[in-house]
Chain A
Amino acid sequence: MEGSSDAVIVARVLRGDVEGFRILVERYHDRYARYAFHMLGNREDAEEALQDAFTRAYRSLGRCEDPERFGAWLFRILVNRCRTLGARRGRRAQTFVVDETAILEAAEEHPADRNAWREEIDRALQQLRTEQREAFLLKYVDDMGYDEMSQLTGVGVSALKMRVMRACERLRELLSEVQSA
């Protein structure tokens, strides 16, 4: 069943095979954990968003109109969840904490250099407006086209292009000093 398409697994879950849902969890949690982490800035919130997105997806599975594209449908739920959690986190005025697990990845260069650079990126990313960060991540990290992004977010293509452009400008501005140092 591991190699089955999403639609086959969804159909099995809808017939009552709840354990089949684990395959969908394992299939998507890595890619979506990355998005949630970058949107929310810490692992605890990212895991909360993921857990919530998966359980919401399970509860609404009967209304997934195109089970073959379960992943895209789940992603839409996650994007919404991150928006809600992000807004709440903003109100709690949390200070930004670098997640150590996330930055201790296999180093291709001097670990201290890379970690410092990564830390600056994370910090800069969290300084973007939420909608700019969302658009930037979808475009540059998840490699989506603008039409796909528009379908996912419900925001028009031209507005998304503007958000991505502003996000890039801001990131360049925030990181130029670090880069030239």
Chain B
Amino acid sequence: MSVVRRALIGPLVLILFSQAAAAQDPRLAARLDKPTLGSVRAIVDSARVAGLPTAPLVDKALEGSAKGSDGGNITSAVHQLYLRMGSAKRAIGPTATADEIKSASDALDAGVSARDLARLRSASGKRPLTMPLAVLSDLIGRKVPVATATDLVIQLAKSGLNDPEFALFQRNVRADIDRGADPTVAATTRARGLVLRTGSETKPAE
């Protein structure tokens, strides 16, 4: 057998086993009713065909079941996540990891635009986006306006912040807000301090 054939058949075998396993995840059958199970499996199959990670879809269905949602809601949530992951992957590039796609789809859900995801991708170079995106979603969840939060995180990424520094930034902003600070002022001030340290200025969006 030629090397080329090995190279072709091998991935297909891996793909068939691992991805089909996600659609057939026994936890789904144990927790979902039959119509919901069928719908969720169909969406998982679509994701597999589209080259999207399938585990987050299974997790989303299990989460819905744990939270007592009905079948319609679960199917809708899984479908929406599938759509968001497709948008996320297109925005941050075909080489994005499953974790990056997952956190980018959370950011889309929080209101970040696909265009801004692409800006963050280009600002981050080859550094992973997972942590900056988690921090971005958190800022929005803490009432920092989407445009401001997005611009700040892009500025921080441009200035070369690494993951532990992003985590520290998030903790500091959270602590400031918990002590009563205005979320936008807290985020902007903390970001400005970090960017000044690295030698480039940041401007809040608002």
Q: Using a CB–CB distance below 8 Å, which chain A residues touch chain B?
A: 52, 56, 59, 63, 80-81, 83-84, 87-88, 91-92
Contacts and interface: CB of A to CB of B under 8 A. Distances in A.
B10 to A, nearest CB: 25
A59 B86 CA distance: 11
A91 B145 CA distance: 11
A83 B75 CA distance: 14
Interface string B65-91: 000000000000001100110110000
Contacts, number: 19
B201 interface: no
Would you call the interface of chain A mostly helix, strand, loop, or mixed?
Answer: helix
B110 interface: yes
B interface, how many residues as a size bin? 10 to 19
B83 A91 contact: no
A80 B109 contact: no
B50 interface: yes
B146 A59 contact: no
A83 B49 CA distance: 23
B125 interface: no
User: For A52, A80, A87, A92, which residue has the most chain B Cβ atoms within 10 angstroms?
Assistant: A92
A178 to B, nearest CB: 32
B195 interface: no
Nearest to B140: A91
Contact of A84 (B50, B84, B110): B84
B111 A88 contact: yes
A84 B86 contact: no
B111 A92 contact: yes
Given A88-B108, A91-B111, A52 B87 contact: yes
Contacts of A83: 80
Contacts of B111: 88, 91-92
Given A88-B109, A88-B111, A91-B110, A80 B83 contact: yes
Contact of B50 (A59, A87, A92): A59
Contacts of A81: 83
A48 to B, nearest CB: 8
A65 to B, nearest CB: 13
A87 B110 CA distance: 10
A92 B111 CA distance: 6
User: For B79, B108, B109, B111, which residue has the most chain A Cβ atoms within 10 angstroms?
Assistant: B111
